[in-house]
Amino acid sequence: MAKLEPAFLVAEFAEPEPMLEAARTLREEGWWVELHSPFPVKGMEQALGFTERTVPHAFLVGGVAGALAGFAIQVYANLAYPLDAGGRPLVAVPAFMLITFEVMVLVAVLSGIATMFVRNRLPRLHHPLFDAERFHLASDNRFFVSLLLEDRAEGEARAMLGRMGSASVSRVGGGLPE
Amino acid sequence: MSEKPLSGRYHRITGEVVSIPPQFPAPTAWAILFGISLLLVGLLIVSVAMVFIRGVGVWGNNIPVGWGFPISNYIWWLGIGHAGTLISAMLLLMQENWRNSLNRFAEAMTLFAVTCGGLYPIVHLGRPWYFYWMAPYPSTMGVWPQFRSPLTWDFFAVLTYLIVSVCFWYIGIVPDLAAARDRARKRRWQVFFGIFALGWRGSGRHWLRWRQAYVITAAIAVPLVVSVHSEISMLFAAGPIRGWNSTVFPPYFVLGAAFSGFAVVTMLAVMVRSLLKLKDLVTERHLDMLGRMVLATGLMTGFGYLAEVFTALYAGGYEYQTLTDRFTGPYWWSFWGAVVFNFVPIQFLWRRKVRVAAIPAFLISLSVAVGMWMERYMLLVSSLYRDWLESSAHLFHPTFWDWSLYLGFIGFFMAAFLLFVRFLPVISQFEIKEAIEEKAHG
């Protein structure tokens, strides 16, 4: 039998602050919480307890690796195929710096952006959350909190979200994958 | 501020931006412009085919002017491209929110200008099908590129710049593609935006990682721009040619690039704003700021001219001869043309009234684009056409095919930009909303 998709509870808010507040409270209660907003909202890190630095580190690692590789290939190529230009040194460090810099930038950006997509698990064209009725407004002017419903009592979370000022709460997912 | 108007405003902004592709506001004007561009693209195809079949002899290039139009136009195109990155990345880092209405189409301009620029040297190779020899790969011939030559630096710089610009532009547009996907009614638009939005759902953690990647890429892109155009100036400055061999070249080239690029961004802003009826998103304030940028970078470029003249006077000898040759020699028109077109009209930009008026701003910018083209031409040709041997002195005259290729590339740029305007969100609506939110809540 195919594995069931996880079920989510989706709560809509008209304003960013209650969304952040609701996320913070529910997270402290032990729920797995995610926010959905039309633009990055200030205070998201604190509300989600986000401290990850994988993406910046990927830029750094990519940059260092790129610089080393860019420099190394120039040294190798000049030794493997020596072009004598007026007796000038084959390993001409100042002349190598530009390509070293360019390769550093290229590898840093590619590894940083690739890491961002991998960590975000994108591309993923379909997600159960898209089934929520008003979820298309998450890219317009509404703010959403989604909770991962495991085996916990749904009613408790619904009540809490209602108290936090959510305009509507709905349940999605939990079925067979499409 | 109360909550209702803000949320209504967000909704209006989303609608205004993402409804452009499905319900295009000016289909007739677009079709006419696109038709003209396609004719020019046809000219491009014929011109390139001509070069491939008959060889570079169809151009006015000769010995000693081996570079001619392809390289001076290459520099002109890349220079234009740089302003897109500067507007987008530098102003993002400085948290100047007025960039949000301009960055998307300025970056698109960068992509298309760099594509035009990057193709020129390849067409110029004579045997363009061997262009990959520039890349270091373990070939069976055992040959490697000459890494101590600016020509090889060039290959790396432009390729890196193009790839980084594409990445920066694309991750910036993904959230807007998602907004367009969520608003699209027709199936084909849903599929088109849906695929390219990659399933973006505005998740908080996604935004946070996205922000990290976006800001760091911007921080890297600014020095990248400086390195790329400095490197292009090395094509000139690193050679023992009088009139080129000067340390003033890298900053002079970078500033000239920003100058011409801001001018072209102004032209595109005027066009986007009137064609797509986006006057409340691309406002007078944006034209005002762009006018200031054109004026400031123009004055800095003017300082570069003075520094170059001073260097030549101070150095004397051959440098001085080249200087007088530029003033009064056979290419005097390109020097004085550059001075007049670049620095006279921009003086009107001191007045706010001129900066915010669409047609004068457009015409002044056009004059800058022409002036900077003359500058690139003047720098290249006036130094190359006369060596110090009698045998290597030869005037350069562009032929019909030189001009047709150039016009063809302009058509290609216009066609690509028009397609972008027609099918993708031209303005970064989520960043505009973010700025409004931050302003409202401190």
> What are the residue boundaries of the structural domains of chain A, listed by start?
7-44+128-173, 54-119
B142/A81 Cβ within 8 A: yes
Residue A135 has pLDDT above 80, yes or no: yes
- Flag whether residue B254 sits within 8 Å of chain A, measured between CB atoms: no
User: Are A139 and B203 within 8 A, CB to CB?
Assistant: no
Any idea where the domains of chain B sit in the sequence?
3-440
The predicted structure's pLDDT at residue B1: 41
Mean local confidence (pLDDT), A141-164: 86
Q: Any chain B CB within 8 A of the CB of A34?
A: yes
Nearest CA in chain A to B176: A139
pLDDT at A2: 66
Provide the pLDDT for residue A158. 86
Interchain proximity A140–B182, CB inside 8 Å? yes
- A7-44+128-173 fold: Alpha-Beta Plaits (3.30.70)
Residue-wise pLDDT tens digits, B197-228:
999 999 999 999 999 999 999 999 999 999 99
Which pLDDT score, from 0 to 100, does residue B2 have?
45
Whether chain B has a CB inside 8 Å of the CB on A176: the answer is: no
Which pLDDT band holds residue B340 (cuts at 50, 70, 90)?
A: very high
How near does any CA of chain B get to the CA of A22, in Å?
A: 13
Work out the average pLDDT over B92-112.
92
Chain A CA closest to residue B191: A125
Q: With an 8 Å Cβ cutoff, is B139 touching chain A?
A: no
Whether residue B72 contacts residue B235, with contact meaning beta carbons closer than 8 Å, is answered with: no
Q: What is the mean pLDDT of the segment spanning A78-93?
A: 90
Give the residue-averaged pLDDT of B328-353. Answer: 96
What is the band of A162 on the pLDDT scale with cuts at 50, 70, 90? confident
Chain B contact for A60 (CB, 8 A cutoff) = no
Start-to-end CA span in chain A (Å): 14
pLDDT reading at A152 higher than 80: no
Of A44, A96, A122, the CB nearest to B208: A44
pLDDT over 70 (residue A165): yes
H or E segment at A168?
strand A168-173
The whole-number average pLDDT for the span B283-300 is 94
Q: What are phi and psi of A33, to 5 degrees?
A: -115, 145
Rounded distance between C-alpha atoms, residue A30 and residue A148, angstroms: 11
What pLDDT was estimated at residue B438?
87
| B148/A85 CB distance under 8 A | yes
Is B3-440 a domain of CATH 1.20.1630.10?
yes
Instruction: Grade residue B230 by pLDDT with cuts at 50, 70 and 90.
Output: very high
Taking CB atoms and an 8 Å cutoff, what residues of chain B touch A119?
A: 209
The whole-angstrom separation of Cα B157 and Cα B150 is 10
Question: Taking residues A29-55, what's their average pLDDT?
Answer: 93
CA A120 centroid distance within chain:
4
What is the nearest CA distance from A70 to chain B, expressed in angstroms?
10
Summarised one tens digit per residue, pLDDT across range B105-163 is 999 999 999 999 999 999 999 888 898 988 999 889 888 999 988 889 999 999 999 99
Q: How confident is the model at residue B387 (pLDDT cuts 50, 70, 90)?
A: confident
Cβ–Cβ contact B142 with A under 8 A: yes
Residue A154 in contact with partner chain B when CB distance is under 8 A:
no
Q: Is there a contact between A166 and A14 (Cβ–Cβ < 8 Å)?
A: no
* B12 and A CB contact within 8 Å: no
Q: What is the pLDDT of residue B43?
A: 97
A15 touches chain B (CB under 8 A): yes
Mean pLDDT on B47-71: 93
pLDDT at A9 over 60: yes
Asked if the Cβ–Cβ distance from A34 to B204 is below 8 Å, we say: yes
Q: Which pLDDT band holds residue A1 (cuts at 50, 70, 90)?
A: low
What's the pLDDT at B329? 92
Distance CA B242, CA B68 (A): 17
Indicate yes or no: CB of B179 within 8 angstroms of CB of A40: no
Does residue B401 carry a pLDDT above 90? yes
Mean pLDDT, chain B, integer: 92
For A35, list phi and psi in degrees, rounded to 5: -105, 155
Q: Identify all chain A residues contacting B217, using CB atoms and an 8 Å cutoff.
A: 109, 112-113
Please state, in angstroms and as integers, the Cα–Cα distance from residue A177 to each residue in A128, B194, B285, following that order.
9, 19, 50
Longest Cα separation, chain A: 82
Beta carbons of B362 and B267 less than 8 angstroms apart: yes
Residue A149 has φ and ψ, to the nearest 5°, of: -85, 110
